[in-house]
Amino acid sequence: MNLYRDVLRPLLFSGFRADPETLKVQLLQALHWMGTTHATGVLAGLERLFCYEDPVLQVKLWGLTFPNPIGLAAGFDKDGLGLAAWPSLGFGFVEVGTVTAQAQPGNPKPRLFQLPQDQAGLNHMGFNNQGAAALAKRLRQLPQHRIPIGVNLGKSKVTPLQEAATDYLTSFRLLKELGDYFVVNVSSPNTPGLRSLQATEQLEPILVAVQQENQGQKPLLVKIAPDLDWPEIDGILELAQTHQLAGIVATNTTLRRNHLQTRFLPGRGIPITEEAGGISGAPLRARSTEVIRYIHQATQGKLPIIGVGGIFTLADALEKLEAGASLLQVYTGWVYEGPGMVKRLLQGISAHRKAPIRAAADP
């Protein structure tokens, strides 16, 4: 029996506690306390429970060494509160953000929902974060840097679309010496007009501005939506080559609702088709893998891919790695499967790399 999945998660999801966002905030506050008070005994205990090390899991990419290929996706720890603690939960890297040039509260609450029938989440958070300057201050105070830290950059809601390049550049300048890699996020569905920045004529000025400032110092990636069609992805791949991007993050959440079993939003009675926001988790699994495979084939495997979307089991992780992903990120799957998930996946990936014939399913 999985204690978290079979006992704790049903209690948390049943609503006897707070809404999902409140629970997430409480977890981040606890992780922040562990890191800032140097609760080494607690962190060491977490490491014994949730970490798994094996040299075969190590990934060297962009001049960085990732102890394992599983990272925490952007959106969970927007302000880097848990940075000192995430390594103790087994992650090989973490991507903070999405961070914007200006601090902003995000969209009205409630804005985060669990859809257990679909093993999915729905969010329309709206890039709520304390701003790039606050994140820069926190990163400077980080006592140690045990795993690579990515920084996911978004556009401030108040900034007009035509000034997006300046907005992204402002955040990058504040953070460029503090992150190990950077991701231009133009694919969230929760900031008005943001996804239009995926169009090549709007994305190119952003990449030009950031890369001119970057001067090749840090790996720069772009995060794309799963809802793009193949010609749109081709256009982004052309820009990636032209502007020497280090890779693609595939993919963000989806706007599609057609495969959901959930008909009404939990606790609100609103038809799921009428609620704004992006869907994450299992409904995204197949499409994100399809996009990964397409990018890998279109670039002959020369453009690294961080694969994210619907990873719950070893089979899910292996599918994305075999489709062409160099690294993986989890978020919704981790919420559903619990803190032991990363260790289980790593044990399975390790066994698969040593003896592929044995790696058919989750251990």
DSSP assignment of 235-274: HHHHHHHHTT--EEEE---B---TT-S--B-TTT--BGGG
The residues facing 78 across adjacent strands are: none
Catalytic residue among 171, 188, 280, 288: 188
Q: Would you state the structure tokens that stand for residue 17, as one six-digit string?
A: 């506690």
Say how many Å lie between the first and final Cα of the chain, rounded: 13
Q: What angle do CA 221, 224, 230 make, to 5 degrees?
A: 120
Nearest residue to 91 (alpha-carbon basis) of 78, 102, 104, 82: 82
167 close to 161: Cβ distance less than 8 angstroms: no
Q: Could you tell me which residues come within 8 angstroms of residue 95 by beta carbon, excluding any fewer than 6 positions away?
A: 71, 72, 73, 74, 149, 150, 151, 152, 183, 329
Residue 40: φ, ψ to 5°: -60, -35
Please give the Cα distance from 34 to 37 (Å, whole number): 6
Annotation says 188 is catalytic: yes
- Residue 27 and residue 10: Cα distance in Å, rounded? 17
Residue listed under structure tokens 């550049």: 169
Q: Which residues are catalytic?
A: 188
